[in-house]
């Protein structure tokens, strides 16, 4: 997994891939880079168990395009027999998912360790 991502940190812990944002506040063009990073991850990585950490700082990139990309990632993993969990999401972030009627589509867990343990 020697891929350089501009806006994502990717770490493999056993058979679980942990994704996190490099920075909570995106620079100009950062959201486009983030979307490209998620695409690149989906197309080049064979990991079927993924954790996305959206904390500890609240991300400033919760746009519809990013949410749609997460839906795509979640569905792809599910179709491949994998699993996807979102960790460290603040109450505000969870409310964004709920407002978009996406809350029930995702499994939110309090922290990365809990997510890894649940997927291991």
Q: What is the pLDDT of residue 92?
A: 94
What burial class does residue 98 get, using C-beta atoms within 10 Å of its C-beta: 0-12 exposed, 13-18 middle, 19+ buried?
exposed
Domain ranges of the chain: 8-119
For 52, the 3-state DSSP assignment is strand
Would the pLDDT of 32 be above 60? yes
Q: Which residue has the higher pLDDT, 83 or 45?
A: 83
Residue 76 pLDDT > 60: yes
Q: Is the pLDDT of residue 1 over 80?
A: no
- Mean pLDDT throughout 29-54? 90
pLDDT given for residue 30 in this prediction: 85
pLDDT digits (tens, 9 = 90+) for 87-111: 999 999 999 999 999 989 999 999 9
Please say whether the structural domain 8-119 has been given the CATH code 3.30.750.24: yes
User: In the predicted model, is pLDDT for residue 113 greater than 90?
Assistant: yes
Looking at residue 2, what is its pLDDT?
64
The torsion of the CA quartet 17, 19, 22, 24, rounded to 10 degrees, works out to -160
């Amino acid at each position: 997994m020697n891929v350089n991502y501009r806006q994502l940190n990717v770490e493999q812990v056993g058979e679980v891939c942990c994704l996190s944002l490099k920075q909570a506040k995106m620079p100009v063009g950062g959201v486009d880079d983030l979307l490209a990073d998620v695409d690149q991850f989906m197309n080049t990585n064979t990991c079927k168990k993924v954790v996305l950490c959206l904390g500890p700082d609240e991300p400033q990139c919760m746009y519809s395009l990013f949410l749609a990309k997460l839906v795509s990632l979640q569905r792809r993993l599910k179709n491949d027999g994998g699993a996807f969990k979102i960790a460290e999401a603040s109450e505000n972030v969870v409310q964004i998912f709920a407002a978009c009627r996406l809350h029930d589509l995702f499994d939110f867990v309090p922290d990365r360790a809990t997510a890894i343990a649940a997927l291991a």
